[in-house]
């Protein structure tokens, strides 16, 4: 079982908020590229991609469910586009 989402990128780290009202969180991971000043953007981009993992998983699960149950793809598209936007920072 993975750490429950949503996750968010904080610079080069990925965190999951446990109690947002108290600004409490658990660290999911640290992307090491940010320790080298020439690779800080890479570390931040890696953190964004990893932080989107729960949404990307949900998008795939929704897609498979729609395929297996012959349901429309509109929900799949919206969920997938939101996950991609989070992962790419767009």
Same domain as 70, residue 44 = no
pLDDT tens digits, one per residue of 61-82: 888 888 888 777 777 788 888 8
Residue 38, pLDDT above cutoff 80: no
Nearest to 18 by CA among 29, 37, 4: 4
Same domain as 64, residue 36 = no
The pTM of this model reads: 0.78
Same domain as 45, residue 66 = no
Domain assignment of residue 76, given as a range: 52-90
Joined together, the tokens standing for residue 69 give: 């149950």
* Domain count for the chain: 2
Within 10 Å of residue 24's Cβ, how many Cβ atoms?
10
Task: Determine the average pLDDT of the residues in 25-34.
Answer: 84
Nearest to 48 by CA among 33, 37, 36, 61: 33
Instruction: Identify whether 61 is preceded by a cis peptide bond (ω within 30 of 0).
Output: no
Same domain as 70, residue 39 = no
């Amino acid at each position: 079982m993975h750490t429950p989402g949503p996750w968010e990128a904080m610079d080069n780290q990925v965190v999951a908020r446990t109690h947002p009202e108290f600004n409490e969180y658990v660290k999911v991971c640290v992307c090491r590229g940010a320790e080298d000043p020439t690779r800080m953007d890479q570390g931040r981009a890696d953190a964004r991609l990893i932080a989107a993992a729960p949404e990307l998983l949900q998008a795939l699960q929704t897609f498979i469910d729609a395929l297996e149950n012959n349901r429309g793809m509109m929900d799949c598209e919206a969920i997938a586009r939101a996950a991609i936007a989070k992962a790419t920072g767009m």
